[in-house]
Amino acid sequence: MNLNLDISFNRTIEQLILNELRSAHHSNEPITDASLVHRTSKTRMLGAVGKVAALPAFPSVRGLVELGFVRGCDLGVLSRDKFVPLRRSEEQILVAVANPWNYRADEYCAAHFPNADLLKIVTLASEISGIIENASSSSGPSRADLEAVEVDEYSGDIPDFAVSRQHEEPIAQLVAAMVSDAIKQRASDIHVKTDKLSCHYCFRIDGDLGTHVEVPLKLRNRIDAFLLNLMRLAPEERSKRPGISGRFTASYYGRPVGIRYERHRTFRGYHVTMRLLDKAHFEARLGMGTLAFDEGTLFALEKALAIPSGIIVMSGPTGSGKSTTVNAMLRQLNRPEDNILTLENPVEDEIEGVTHCDLRDSTEFKPMIASFMRSDPDVIFMGEVRDRESAELAIEAAITGHKVLTTIHTPSAAQIIERFQQLGMERWKIAQTLKAACAQRLVKLLCPVCKDRHEGVGEHEMRLFQLPPEWAERVVYKQNKNGCPECQGRGYVGRTAILEILPISPALGDAMSKGDLTPYELEQRVRRDTGLPSLRENGLKLLREGRTDLEALRKVLDMTVPG
C-alpha cells in the first residue's frame, strides 16, 4: 500500500499508521485501507506518521531554516535521503526528516557534527525538497565566457544531463543553469527564441512568461546542437524537418525530471519550447491538492469512472492540466485485476501497473489502436482526439465494451458533443458512448502574504463581467503588483484546477440521440437537475474565497458571458 509520503514501510509500521488514521476517522461507515489512505490529506498523514514515530510533525519547516547552514551541507546527500539539517545551536542540531525510520540523517550528522545532539522532527518530503532548492545556487557562465566560445562543430554524448552540478564546457553549463533555474522556480515551460539581433530564453511560471535572459546570438546553433544531442538527434536534423519533437531527462540533485522538447523553424532561427514534467511538487490525486474539486463535481466524476464502458472526455486549451487530471483518473482506476493501456505522444507521467505506449508519429495511431483492441484491455487512454479517424476509433472502442478516457480541445464541456459531430460522428453513437464531458482550466492563486484587499468590485468590472449587485459591496482581493519575497515578486503563488462536468445519463443520451436536445439545452438541463457548477461558477467561488482575482479569471475564462 502506498501511504504517499515517499516512505517505504514494513507491514508493522504501516499497520500502526493505518490504526492511527482510523482512530481519527469520524465516520462509522466501514472503510477499506486503500479508501482510508485515499481520503487522508498529506497533513493528516504526516501527523499519523509523527505520532507513530514519537516525533513532532511540522507540515511547514521553512520558517525554521538557516539557509547558510544548509548550504554548507552536501545537498546531493540531503536530496537523496530526504532530510535536511535546519539550524545549529551550541549543543544541538535541528534536523527535519521525511522518513523517521531512515537513519541516514543520524549517520550524516554524527559524521559531520560529532559533538552536537540530534533533535529530529518529521515533515513532508516536498518541504525538504523546497529547502534544498532554495539553498542551491545555479549560475550560468559569465557573458565573457560565452563571448569567448569558439563556434565550431560540437559533438558529445551526454547520457543523463545533471543540471545541478558544474560543467566545464560553457554551453553545457549555460543549458544546465537554464534548466536548473526553471526547475527551482517551478516553471512549466522554457522558451528559447531568436529575434533579429538577439537570442534569449524565459520561463513560464503560473501561466505567465517571465523576464528574458539574453545570450549571444552567435551561440544559437551551438545551444540547438547541444539540445539535439541530449535527445540522441544528430545536429544535421536542424535542416531536415520544419518541426522536431523529442524528450530527455534532467537530473536535479538526483531527482529525474522529464523534459519534453519541441522545436520549429522561424524566420530568424528556431523557437524551442521545453515542457518540464516535474512531479516532485505535485501529486495527481482526485480530490486532493490542486485537484480538490467541489464535492458535487468530484462525486459526478467518480460516478462516471464507475461505469464499466463508455467514453469520458476531458477538454481545455493547451496547458490547462487535462493530462494531469486524466492521469489522476487512471491512478484511481488502477487495480491489479484490470488491464490499462495508454497511447500518448509523448508519455508524460508513468503509473506503475499501467502499460504506457509512446506514439512516435501519426502513422502509428491506427495500427496501435487496432493492436490495443486485441490486447484484452479494460481501460484505454487515448492521448487526444484530433481528427475523424481518432474520434471513430475512440467511439468504436467504447461501443465494443471498453472504458475510454481521452482529451480534446474545446472551450466548454457542452462543445465536446458539437466537436464530435463536426468530426463526422453520428449522434446516436455519441449519445450511446459518452458518459461524461468535462472541461478544465488552471487558475492562478493570489499570494496569501501580500494580496491586496478591496471593498467591492468596481462598476466597470460589474458591467463587463455581468456580476450581480452583491459584488459591489463584497470584499475581494487582488494581485499586489510589487509582490513579496514569498511569491518572488509575482503576486501569485501556484495554480489550482477548476472543472465542470456534464454527466450523460441514459435518459439524456436517449433525448440527445433523437435530436430532442441540442448540446446547449443538454448543458442547461444538467445544471438545473444536478446543481453542478460551471467553470464560471467555480471561478467566482475562488474569487469569493479570496484565493484569486478577476484578472486571473479573465485570462482563462470568458467571464463576459453569464452562466
pLDDT tens digits along 451-478: 999 998 888 999 999 999 999 889 999 9
DSSP 132-177: HHHH-------HHHHHT----------SSEETTS--SSHHHHHHHH
Helices assigned H by DSSP within 185-335: 220-230, 295-305, 322-333
Beta carbons within 8 Å of 285's beta carbon, 6+ residues apart: 4, 38, 291, 328, 331
pLDDT at 338: 86
Measured over the CA atoms of residue 51, residue 53, residue 56 and residue 59, the dihedral's sign is negative
List the alpha helices (DSSP H) in 185-294: 220-230
Show the low-confidence residues of the chain (pLDDT under 50): 1-7, 154-158
- Please list, residue by residue across 420-441, b when 16 or more beta carbons sit within 10 angstroms of its beta carbon and e when fewer do: beebebeeebbbbbbbbbbbbb
* Inter-CA distances, 151 with 21, 155, 167, 170, 221, Å: 61, 12, 18, 12, 9
Q: Is 459 in a helix, a strand, or coil?
A: helix
CATH 3.30.300.160 location in the chain: 11-135
> How many other C-beta atoms can be found within 10 angstroms of the C-beta atom of residue 305?
18
Q: What are the CA-CA distances from residue 321 to residues 269, 312, 328, 380, 505 (Å)? A: 30, 16, 11, 19, 26
d(CA 169, CA 177): 12
Give the per-residue pLDDT at 301. 92
Quote the CATH superfamily of domain 11-135: Type II secretion system, protein E, N-terminal domain (3.30.300.160)
- pLDDT value at residue 361: 66
Tell me how far CA of residue 207 lies from CA of 41, 429, 441, 518, in angstroms: 26, 37, 11, 34
Q: Is 17 helix (H, G, I), strand (E, B) or coil?
A: helix
pLDDT (0 to 100) of residue 144:
67
Q: Are 68 and 135 in contact (CB under 8 A)?
A: no
Hey, what's the cell of 321?
492540466
Determine the pLDDT at residue 551: 92
Instruction: For the chain, give every residue range classified as CATH 3.40.50.300.
Output: 289-444+497-555
Cα separation, 520 vs 512, in Å, equals 11
Contact 331, 284 (CB under 8 A): yes
- Taking the CB of residue 562, how many other CB atoms lie within 10 A of it? 11
| C-alpha–C-alpha distance, residues 560 and 550, integer Å | 11
Q: How many CA atoms lie within 13 A of 534 on its CB side?
A: 19
CA 190, distance to chain mean position in Å, is 15
Strand positions, DSSP E, 170-327:
189-194, 199-205, 208-209, 213-215, 243-252, 255-265, 270-277, 310-315
Task: Name the CATH code of domain 143-277 (choices 1.10.630.10, 3.40.50.2000, 3.30.450.90, 3.40.1190.20).
Answer: 3.30.450.90
d(CA 52, CA 22): 13
Q: Amino acid identity of 437?
A: A
Strands (E), 473-542: 475-478, 492-503
CATH code 3.40.50.300 for 289-444+497-555: yes
DSSP bridge pairs for 247: 260
| pLDDT computed for residue 1 by the predictor | 43
* pLDDT tens-digit readout, 230-240: 887 766 665 66
Q: Which of 166, 86, 169 is nearest to 134 (CA)?
A: 86
pLDDT of residue 137: 65
Please check whether residue 351 is in contact with residue 313, taking contact to mean a CB–CB distance below 8 angstroms.
no
**What pLDDT score was predicted for residue 553?**
93
According to DSSP, residue 131 is labeled H
Q: What is the DSSP string of 506-521?
A: HHHHHHHHTTS--HHH
